[in-house]
Amino acid sequence: MILKGKVYRVGDDINTDVIMPGRWCHLTDEAELAKHCMEDYDQEFLKKIKPGDIIVADRNFGCGSSREVAPLSIKAAGIGAVVARSFARIFYRNCINIGLPIFESGECAAVTETGDELEIDMFGGKITNLTRGKQLTFTPFPEFMQTIIKQGGLKAWVLEKLGKGQVGQNP
């Protein structure tokens, strides 16, 4: 599966409080959550991005609280993927749970700027910075996690397994 989008570049330690401000965490509608994504980081964020765009970050993206609405707001805003040098562990798992593609690559963070165009081979472990002509690599997810992401998250995966009576078995 290939993702392609323009880059929105951020730095280190982007925490869940700026991804999804606490004053909006009571919202449950994804469209409403999307309206407030990254607003405490950049008030113009939603005007700067288009569906399929890719956030590229430095270290510790998603640190802070374990609020699940942070990655959900990113996905609902139409971001196609997040690439970072590293992710906070709970944020990382929350992304998998909701089917938001994320990739760890220090190489990408080092050679990518806002406005660059990336192409990501999600399961082949390759990122191409089309703007700069750079080919980068990352370690792809294990097959069972790829399946969860392909199906749109853990809930969709479980519902599919329930429909087939296979819950409790390895994917």
Do residues 49 and 125 both lie within one domain? Answer: yes
Do residues 113 and 156 both lie within one domain? Answer: no
Do residues 167 and 103 both lie within one domain? Answer: no
Do residues 120 and 150 both lie within one domain? Answer: no
Each residue's pLDDT tens digit, 67-126: 889 999 999 999 999 999 999 999 999 999 999 999 999 899 999 999 999 999 998 999
Do the strands 134-137 and 81-84 form a parallel or antiparallel pair, or are they unpaired? unpaired
Do residues 130 and 166 both lie within one domain? Answer: no
Structure tokens at 33: 């959550």
pLDDT at 167: 53
Do residues 120 and 156 both lie within one domain? Answer: no
- Which residues span the domain enclosing 37? 2-140
H or E, element range at 104: strand 102-104
Residue that is written with structure tokens 């220090």 in the block: 106
User: In the predicted model, is pLDDT for residue 35 greater than 90?
Assistant: yes
Q: Tell me the β-bridge partners of 84.
A: 57, 104
Do residues 158 and 99 both lie within one domain? Answer: no
Do residues 129 and 149 both lie within one domain? Answer: no
Number of structural domains, the chain?
A: 2
DSSP letter at 24?
G
Residue that is written with structure tokens 């995966």 in the block: 157
Do residues 130 and 156 both lie within one domain? Answer: no
CATH number of the CATH domain containing 131: 3.20.19.10
DSSP letter at 58?
-
Do residues 39 and 86 both lie within one domain? Answer: yes
User: Is residue 121 helix, strand or coil?
Assistant: strand
d(CA 18, CA 12): 12
d(CA 153, CA 168): 16
DSSP letter at 84?
E
Residue that is written with structure tokens 């009571």 in the block: 26
Do residues 94 and 118 both lie within one domain? Answer: yes
Do residues 9 and 65 both lie within one domain? Answer: yes
pLDDT at 162: 85
